[in-house]
Amino acid sequence: MLFHMLTRHPNIHRIVINDINMDLIRSYQLVKDNPESLIELLRPFEQKYYKLNEDERRQYFYEVRHEYNTSLLTENQRAAYLIFLNHTCFNGLYRENGSGSFNVPFGRYKKPKICNAEVIMADHEVLTKVDIICGDYKHIISHLGKGYNFIYLDPPYRPLMGSCNFNQYSKSGFGDPEQVELKTFCDRLTGRGCHLMLSNSDSTNADGTSYFETLYEGYFFEKILAPRFINAYAEKRKKQTEVLIKNY
């Protein structure tokens, strides 16, 4: 979404992005401010990984994951470790256990692009107009401009039928109480004249009614088909409906 807006709408003069994951935000900051250092950190990962067979890659992945979770790394190292894990783990997921440790398993890819210097430098060019911050989403309100504000929110998705726990983006979790709290925040943004769009799963209540159409009564809804790659079985990775919730 960010890079689509940056490349398709050059009239935009300021963008603010925010996430609670400090390592993710540090990765963006490195791409923006010092892409060469990120490339230097990533290149050894890629060079070593390509020389290994699949069993050795699996072992190396878990060694790096263990270091990422337990070792005292610099901020820049943690950013590079995160990118390596993202490109070599199962389906590029990010998930934490209850202790806050990254726990996504190994992914079987023949030649993942771990150090894509060309893309990093291209992203560096377009991130010049982006303010990159880390923290709770509610803090973003202090970064609003004085005029027109468009806000896109992409929270952890609610399980479709309440039977899946794959929303553990961080150790704190993001359940129904947090979804309700987010809706209250959206009401606050709406009251300030902001245009907002929020995406989530097409989740249902126990009685089969739409969870988000009930929660966001009075907002505008659009359903879209999106591919899903979470399932371990390729034949079960089908498109599912998501909801776009807007106040305009």
143 and 232 part of one domain: yes
Name the more confident of 21 and 226.
21
**Alpha-carbon distance 63 to 22, whole Å?**
22
To the nearest whole number, what is the mean pLDDT of the chain? Answer: 91
* pLDDT given for residue 196 in this prediction: 97
* pLDDT given for residue 43 in this prediction: 98
**What does the pLDDT average to over 118-137?**
95
State the pLDDT confidence band at 233, using cuts at 50, 70 and 90: low
* pLDDT given for residue 166 in this prediction: 46
Beta strand pairing status for 150-153 and 195-201? Answer: parallel
State the pLDDT confidence band at 171, using cuts at 50, 70 and 90: low
What per-residue string of b and e applies to 174-213 under the rule 16 or more CB within 10 Å gives b?
A: beeeebeebbebbeebeeeebebbbbbbbbbeeeeeebbb
* pLDDT given for residue 165 in this prediction: 45
104 and 146 part of one domain: no
Which of left, alpha, beta for 100 (phi over 0: left; psi -120 to 50: alpha)?
Answer: left
pLDDT per residue over 176-202, tens digit each? 999 999 999 999 999 999 999 999 999
Q: Lowest mean pLDDT of 128-132, 170-174, 208-212, 244-248, name the range.
A: 170-174
Q: Which domain, by its residues, includes 107?
A: 20-118
pLDDT per residue over 21-30, tens digit each? 999 999 999 9
How many CA atoms does the CB half-sphere of 229 hold within 13 Å? Answer: 6
Q: 22-33 vs 35-50: helix axis angle to the nearest 10?
A: 110
39 and 98 part of one domain: yes
* pLDDT given for residue 235 in this prediction: 55
* In a domain? residue 43: yes
* In a domain? residue 199: yes
Q: Is the pLDDT of residue 167 over 60?
A: no
30 and 70 part of one domain: yes
Domains identified in the chain, total number = 2
For residues 17 and 132, is the Cβ–Cβ distance under 8 A?
yes
**Alpha-carbon distance 95 to 99, whole Å?**
11
**Alpha-carbon distance 228 to 31, whole Å?**
28
State the pLDDT confidence band at 163, using cuts at 50, 70 and 90: very low
* pLDDT given for residue 231 in this prediction: 55
**What does the pLDDT average to over 104-132?**
95
CATH number at residue 99: 1.10.1020.10
142 and 210 part of one domain: yes
Cα of first residue to Cα of last residue in the chain, in angstroms, is: 19
CATH number at residue 174: 3.40.50.150
% of the chain surpassing 70 pLDDT: 91
* In a domain? residue 154: yes
* pLDDT given for residue 127 in this prediction: 96
111 and 152 part of one domain: no
* pLDDT given for residue 228 in this prediction: 63
151 and 113 part of one domain: no
pLDDT per residue over 23-74, tens digit each? 999 999 999 999 999 999 999 999 999 999 999 999 999 999 999 999 999 9
Task: Give the per-residue SS3 of 176-244.
Answer: HHHHHHHHHHHHHHHHCCCEEEEEEECCECCCCCEHHHHHCCCCEEEEEEECCCCCCCHHHCCCEEEEE
**What does the pLDDT average to over 156-176?**
68
* pLDDT given for residue 13 in this prediction: 87
Q: Which of 31, 40, 52, 45 is nearest to 108 (CA)?
A: 52
